[in-house]
Each structure stands twice: as structure tokens, then as C-alpha cells.
Amino acid sequence: MSTDRTARPVRGTHDLLGEELRRHRKVAETGRRIALRWGYEEIVTPIFEHTEVFARSLGDVSDIVTKEMYTFTDRGGDSITLRPENTAGVCRAVITLGLTQNLPQKLFYYGPMFRYERPQKGRLRQFHQIGIECIGAPEPLADAEVIAAGAHILEELGVLEATTLELNSLGDAESRARYREALVRYLEGHRARLSADSLLRLERNPLRILDSKDEGDRAVIAGAPLLEEHLNEASRSFFARVEEALARFGVRWKRNPRLVRGLDYYTHTAFEFTTDRLGAQGAVMAGGRYDGLVRTLGGPDVPGVGWAAGVERLALLLPEAPPAPRPIAIVPIGEAAEAEALTLACALRREGHVVELAFKGRPGQRLKRADRLGARLALSLGESELARGVVRLRELDTGREEEVARTDLTARLLPLIVTIS
Ligand code: ATP
Ligand code: MG
């Protein structure tokens, strides 16, 4: 293998092609299609933003901001960051475009995200997410709706059964402040066993420690007081209404009292769809309510709730890969037929068929290539066929052959039109 840098991709990036790309596309397209049905319109935002957009929204002690961002200074001297996630970008766009005049805004996105992480299966440095955001709805019904829409997408992909929805409430600001006190009291007693990162978090954002992946931290966390016991009445009632609506939507979940989200801006509902089929990378879709975010970014005080899902992880989970479209191969025999084949290929493509026409080669070679491409049919035409206005149609799976009049060809091939996504 070449060690030349120009011949290999950057670590943690990946070329997509063939079956892998079809899996990927299926996840993105299904996400878009189902989100649209739930009333979520697609938005495309830039893949880079001013660094402050992420630094301010994600919090300066989050793993993403401290370790994972691709940040650079551009030629104009501005600090720019490749987006590590898209909630901040979508909220920034909602502010920029003045969409807060017309709420709620229900938005879907799909696209690449960038994080400097240790690459492994299901963990890349350039990966893709689909996600939805419902901005401007304070009602618990909104939390339930975004979760149910997510579950619907997973169901449509055939992976819902492979996942568990874990659900928790982080409560409102008052509840979290109360809990924070109890948590800090507990953690102070276990300082010696906490990681350096968590000691820093203990000063700045102790709740974040609950999300730590460090083994020593995890052992301490196992004995920590539960958030649930510190929720005030308003937070409890909010969560109860989320649960009621979820039950209405037919969504099943498991309460996980230790689930917190890694980001500063979350309030109330936090959730994650996890799977045990992807090894250590178990989270496929994760989100929650982020009521303070739009204001943090300099917009009005507008609440929000949403989720993001890892497209590569979902693609790995798909029970089967979508099949490649099977082309119709045209096999001309002789010069006159070569010319006619161009006309025929063009006409069939306009009718919606996938058509393969090789640039050169003997009929035998062309048939071999057709076979390799998984062609369903070969249409051959030589002098005699031209003269009689017919083509020879060969079904490549069975070897069955028939002669079809050119005038009947459209009707004969109609059932074979495949929609390509
Ligand atoms: P993890 O705990 O796996 O690091 P996270 O909490 O950092 O995930 P989120 O920021 O919630 O992830 O992103 C939502 C989803 O995006 C994750 O559930 C996962 O499916 C996917 N995802 C996150 N980081 C990566 C990555 N580096 N490569 C591939 N997919 C990712
Ligand atoms: Mg992560």
C-alpha cells in the first residue's frame, strides 16, 4: 500500500460507494421522508460557523469543545469551526433568518459533522447525522412528538426492535440547582477517585460528570444521588405529560434515571435510543429539550427540543442493504446497430429505465459486462432485427429469450422501471 499522503484518506474519514452508500442513502432519505410527514421541513445550514456558535452553546467544559473541534483561523483572521453537531447551527439560522417571528419552527437536517475523536467502528471524524428540531414550543407534547417521529423513522428503517428508548427528565432550572447541590456534596466526598476531567467539571458543571465515560468516574457515579428525587412539582408534571403523550403515540421506553446529556443547554426531557448490536458505540439517536440555547446564541428566549442520529451507525444496523438497480443492457451487433443502440438507449432512459450501453466490445464481452453489473435484461439487435423493427430480449436470470417489436417495447418493459434513490 502506498504511504503517500495523496493516496490515502485522512484518519477517521471514509469514502462511500456501492452497498455502503445505498445503506447510507436509505437512512438519510427515510429520515427526510418521515420527518416531512410529521411536518418537519428540511433546512441546510453551512458546514462551518464562527467558533463562538459552538463554544457558547456547547459550553466550554464539554468534551466536544475542549477536545473534538476542528477549528482554524481563515485567511481573514476569523476563527472558524467545522460543525461538530447541528443544533447550534440550526438555532443560529433561525435567529439569522428571523424565523422566531413564526413559531414553532419544525426543521429536519441531514449532513456531515466533524469531531476529532479516536476512530473505530461507528466512530468517525467525519460522520453524518440526520436530526430534527422543534423550536419555539414549550409544551411537553413537543418533546413527545420529536421522540415519536424519531421512533417512526427507526421503525421505517426496520431497526426499532433493535433499540431501546431510554428516557429521563433533567427537570427545570430550579430542580437542577437543587440536585446540583446534593450531587456536589456527594462528589466532594469522592474527589480522590474522580478523573482530572471530572474534577474540572466539578467546579464548572458537575452534572456533566454523570455523562463521563471514565471507568473510575463511573464507579463513583453508580452511588450518586438521583436527579429524579430532586425534581420539583412543575418538572414532575411536565415529565408525566411527556410520558402520557408518548404512550398515545405508541412509543415504548425505559426510564433511565442516570441518563444525562453531555451538553450544557439541556432541560427537562433527555433521551437516547441505544442498541447492543454495535459494540461500544451503542447510541444511535439522542436528544432532548434545550430551552436556553436560542437565547445563549443571542436570540430571543425561545425553547427548543430535538434529536440527532448517527447515519453511519444506523446504516450498520439496517437489516439488509437496499439492492442496486438492475440495468437493461443493450448489445448491438454490427455498425448500423451500434448507431441505433444510441437512440434506443436514450429513449429507454427517458422512459425511466437504467440502461447500460458499453462504448465498445464484441457481443460476448458486452454480455459478460452486463452480467457483472447485475443486468436484468439484455436487448440485442443486429442487421436482421433492425430490418424487421424488433429487438431480441434475453432475461439474464433464466436465459429465456423472445423477440419484441420495437413498437411494443415500451409496454413490455414498463413493469421493470425501478425508482432509483
Ligand atoms: P457518543 O456517546 O457515542 O460519543 P455523543 O453523545 O457524542 O455520542 P451526540 O452528540 O448525541 O453523540 O450525537 C448524536 C448521535 O450522533 C450519536 O448518538 C451517534 O449515533 C452519532 N455520533 C456521534 N459522534 C459520532 C462519531 N464520531 N462518529 C459516528 N457517529 C457519531
Ligand atoms: Mg461523543
Q: Is the CB of 129 under 6 A from ligand 1?
A: yes
As a whole number of Å, the end-to-end CA separation of the chain is: 34
3 state SS of 208: helix
Q: Return the higher-pLDDT residue of 2 and 35.
A: 35
267-316 pLDDT, tens per residue?
A: 999 999 999 999 888 999 999 999 989 999 999 999 999 999 999 999 99
Q: Do 212 and 197 contact (CB within 8 A), yes or no?
A: yes
For the Cβ of 115 lying below 6 angstroms from any atom of ligand 1, the answer is: yes
Ligand nearest the Cα atom of residue 266: 1
> Could you tell me if the CB of 283 is within 6 A of ligand 1?
yes
Render 161-179 in DSSP notation, one character per residue.
GG-EEEEEE---HHHHHHH
Q: How confident is the model at residue 421 (pLDDT cuts 50, 70, 90)?
A: very low
Atom 10, ligand 1: which residue's CA is nearest?
85
Spatial distance between the Cα atoms of 421 and 418, rounded to a whole number of angstroms: 9
Among 374, 373, 145, residue whose Cα is nearest residue 241: 145
Give the DSSP H or E segment for 90. Answer: helix 87-96
- Are the CB atoms for 208 and 176 separated by under 8 Å? no
Return the sign of the alpha-carbon dihedral for residues 229, 232, 233, 235: negative
Q: What's the average model confidence in pLDDT over 49-64? A: 88
pLDDT digits (tens, 9 = 90+) for 78-91: 999 999 999 999 99
Residue 130 in contact with ligand 1 by CB distance below 6 A: no
In angstroms, rounded to a whole number, what is the distance separating the alpha carbons of residues 150 and 25?
A: 17
Answer yes or no: is pLDDT of 397 > 90: yes
Scored b (16 or more CB within 10 A) or e, 195-214 reads: bebbeebbeebbbbbbbbee
pLDDT tens readout for residues 360-390: 999 999 999 999 999 999 999 999 999 999 9
If one residue of 16, 62, 127 were mutated to test the ligand 1 pocket, choosing by the most ligand atoms within 8 A of its CB, it would be 127
Residue with the nearest Cα to atom 26 of ligand 1?
Answer: 123
pLDDT at residue 233, as a whole number: 97
pLDDT of residue 262: 60
Element (H, E) at 289: strand 283-289
User: Using CA atoms, how far apart are residues 14 and 20, in angstroms rounded to an integer?
Assistant: 11
CA distance 380 to 363: 8
**20, 313, 316: which to mutate for ligand 1, most atoms within 8 A of CB?**
313
pLDDT digits (tens, 9 = 90+) for 176-207: 889 999 999 999 999 999 999 899 889 888 88
Model pTM?
A: 0.93
Determine which residue's CA is closest to atom 21 belonging to ligand 1.
Answer: 310
Task: Give tens-digit pLDDT for 322-372.
Answer: 999 999 999 999 999 999 999 999 999 999 999 999 999 999 999 999 999
When pLDDT is averaged across residues 28-35 and rounded to a whole number, the result is 98
Radius of gyration from C-alpha coordinates of the chain: 27
Per-residue pLDDT of 220-270, as tens digits, reads 999 999 989 999 999 999 999 999 999 999 999 999 988 887 666 789 999
Q: Work out which ligand 1 atom sits closest to the CA atom of 115.
A: 27
For residues 363 and 331, the answer to whether their CB atoms sit within 8 Å is yes
Model pLDDT, residue 115: 98
Contact 294, 123 (CB under 8 A): no
Q: Which three cell numbers stand for residue 42?
A: 428540511
Binned at pLDDT 50, 70 and 90, residue 210 comes out as confident
Does the beta carbon of 119 sit less than 6 angstroms from any atom of ligand 1? no
The set of cell numbers assigned to 171 is 427537570
pLDDT-derived band at 2, boundaries 50, 70, 90:
low
- Decide: 263 in ligand 1 pocket, CB within 6 A: no
Query: How far, in Å, is the centroid of ligand 2 from the Cα of 116?
Result: 10
Helix (H, G, I), strand (E, B) or coil at 128: strand
Ligand nearest to the CA of 313: 1
Query: Which whole-number Å values give the CA distances from 143 to 236, 245, 264, 270, 378, in the listed order?
Result: 14, 9, 18, 9, 53
Gap from CA of 310 to ligand 1 centroid (Å): 6
Higher pLDDT, 103 or 261: 103
> Which has the minimum average pLDDT: 55-59, 163-167, 220-224, 336-340?
55-59
Residues 6+ apart with CB under 8 A from 57: 87, 88, 91, 263, 264, 265, 293, 296, 297
Kindly list the distances between the CA atom of residue 267 and the CA atoms of 136, 224, 264, 305, in Å, as whole numbers in the listed order. Answer: 14, 20, 9, 9
CA of 25 to the centre of ligand 2 (A): 23
208 lines ligand 1 (CB under 6 A): no
C-alpha–C-alpha distance, residues 166 and 6, integer Å: 44
* Ligand minimally distant from the alpha carbon of residue 118: 1
Ligand nearest to the CA of 317: 1
Residue 138: Cβ-neighbour burial (10 angstroms; 0-12, 13-18, 19+) = middle
